[in-house]
Amino acid sequence: MTQSGSTHLSGIPVRVRDTVVARPLREEMVLLDLDSGIYYSLNSLGALIWSHLVRGATPAAIIAAITAEYDVQPEAAAADLQAFVAELRARNLVTESS
């Protein structure tokens, strides 16, 4: 996972699709995909990752943010990040970053 001091995760960074709008709501993040018409609600961890993804943060920066916020090891944070991004891809909310 760690290569030459930088964290590499396959498929990250990603780009949020143009038809997805997001809005923080209390500690959650609400997403609306105007292509499918489906609303999504992200919990606080999802909201944290999402807010970094939309800014184009590197996987290392996102993992650092997760470990700073939650009491988890970087490996566990990386696994959470990978799983979350895979879920976003499966739901067609993000695409490959160009």
Partner 1 sequence: MTGGAWVASALDSWRALRALVRTTLLFRLGGRRAVARATLAAVVPTARPDALPVDEATVWRAYRAVRRAKRLWPFSVRCLQTALVLREVLTRRGLPAAVCLGVRLHNGKLEGHAWVEVGGWALDDARIWQTFAALPVEQLRTKQVIA
Going from the C-alpha of 46 to that of each of 3, 81, 82, 83, 84, the distances in angstroms are 25, 9, 12, 11, 7
Least distance to partner 1, CB of residue 72, Å = 26
Q: Which of 85, 81, 87, 83 is nearest to 63 (CA)?
A: 81
Alpha-carbon Rg for the chain, nearest whole angstrom, is 13
Q: Which of 9, 14, 32, 64 binds partner 1 (CB under 8 A)?
A: 32
**By CB under 8 A, is residue 9 in contact with partner 1?**
no
Residue placing its CB nearer to partner 1 in the complex, 18 or 71:
18
**By CB under 8 A, is residue 98 in contact with partner 1?**
no
Q: Which residues contact 28 (CB under 8 A, 6 or more apart)?
A: 41, 42, 43, 44, 47
**By CB under 8 A, is residue 2 in contact with partner 1?**
no
Count of other CB atoms within 10 angstroms of residue 25: 11
Binding mask 39-78 for partner 1 (x = CB under 8 A): x-x-------------------------------------
Q: Which of 18, 68, 71, 90 binds partner 1 (CB under 8 A)?
A: 18
Task: Give contact residues for partner 1 (rule: CB under 8 A).
Answer: 18-19, 21-23, 25-26, 28, 30, 32-39, 41
